[in-house]
Amino acid sequence: MKRLRSHLPSFARAPGPVPVPVPVAARQAGMAVISALLVVATVSLIAAGMIDRQATRVRTLESEQARVQARWLLSGGMDWARATLRGEARRSSVTHNGQLWATPITDLRISEEGAARQAVFSGRAEDEQGKFNLQNLARDGQVLPEQVQALSRLLQSLRLPAELAPRIAERMARAQSRPASSRTDGESGAAQTDGDAESGTDTGTPSPSGGRAGTALAPGLRSIDDLRGMRGLDESALTALTPYLTVLPARTAINVNTAPAEVLATLSPALSLSLAMSVADQRDRGQTFNNRADFINRLANPEIEIGSDAVAVDSDWFAVFGTVRLDRATVDMRALLQRDGQNMPRVIWMMEVL
């Protein structure tokens, strides 16, 4: 019997469970479930992406809408500054830092009471005639040496290189219109016209007759920021010069009622910075100057000679800065205003600061 068993096939000797085949329908049902899950996951990802992109578009539109509204609010602030300057001109014949226009506005809420969206305005005005006007460095495209020396004294008082003065003066001279007779043979009218077209503004000073004397050799400057990149004038120097320099469309006198001592010292080589600081201190304590003679007498030094057209006690040019915050949008604007007597000042230019 044992021998017979040894000759039996192995499957007969060790019988085991026989595998049951899975029906085809069941396998197809499982694959269908997996495919459905993959489709749902894919659709969910696509829908989430669409919702996210839609939310981004909505936020972008809301921000742009807020920026547009902020710009309109800034235009209203500019009108307020113009009205303030006109009111001060009607009340006083002098311009000084104790007047209403010189009072800055900080975080003024300009939204209606209970409004869901709150707008906050901040702004200030600066007297541009209380600064050294770079336009004075040249006339009809010709550099004026005495003005270059004055700028050199200002740079030295600010501990900046004096050699910047002739470079800046040359740049200003090239931006001014010049008589046709003063052009060199290599200065073609077409090239000069291209320079003006690039600037997009009137780059030259008017001729004595009131018209343009010629064309400029370089684009005009709107502010001292346009000097950025000049050799020897880095960002720190530009920041230091900002409170003392300006670029105006025309030559101007210095308003001795608003100019800092460093700018007052540029009026004459004999006017020391220490004397200018003493006079400015008296002025800032309320003893403003009524006219040019009052300023000269206050210096009490007959050796100090100042040109008759170099000193003023009122101003026609003002820079206005404004900021509006609305929701997540913040808009900064800067403008140059020209005051014409007691008339409403006009906006020479206005731009958004990015």
pLDDT single digits (tens) 73-85: 888 888 989 999 9
Question: Considering the domain boundaries, does residue 72 fall inside one?
Answer: yes
Question: Considering the domain boundaries, does residue 2 fall inside one?
Answer: no
Q: Is 108 helix (H, G, I), strand (E, B) or coil?
A: strand
Start-end of H helices in 221-318 = 235-241, 261-264, 273-284, 292-299
Distance CA 49, CA 91 (A): 63
Q: List the structure tokens of 56.
A: 């981004």
Which carries the bigger pLDDT value, residue 64 or residue 203?
64
- Per the structure, the complete domain to which residue 57 belongs is given by 39-128+315-353
Specify the CATH number for the domain of residue 48: 3.30.1300.30
Question: Considering the domain boundaries, does residue 201 fall inside one?
Answer: no
Question: Considering the domain boundaries, does residue 248 fall inside one?
Answer: no
Question: Considering the domain boundaries, does residue 43 fall inside one?
Answer: yes
Q: List the structure tokens of 208.
A: 């004595």
Band of pLDDT at residue 86, cut at 50, 70 and 90: very high
Question: Considering the domain boundaries, does residue 23 fall inside one?
Answer: no
Burial class, 34, CB count within 10 angstroms (exposed 0-12 / middle 13-18 / buried 19+): exposed
Task: Quote the pTM value.
Answer: 0.75
Distance CA 221, CA 199 (A): 8
pLDDT at 14 over 70: no
Q: List the structure tokens of 352.
A: 């958004």
The phi-psi region of residue 330 (left if phi > 0; otherwise alpha if psi is between -120 and 50; otherwise beta) is beta
Counting the structural domains of the chain, the total is 1
**β-bridge pairing 245-246 and 142-143:** unpaired
Question: Considering the domain boundaries, does residue 44 fall inside one?
Answer: yes
Residues 130-163: pLDDT tens digits? 999 999 999 999 999 999 999 999 999 999 999 9
Question: Considering the domain boundaries, does residue 338 fall inside one?
Answer: yes
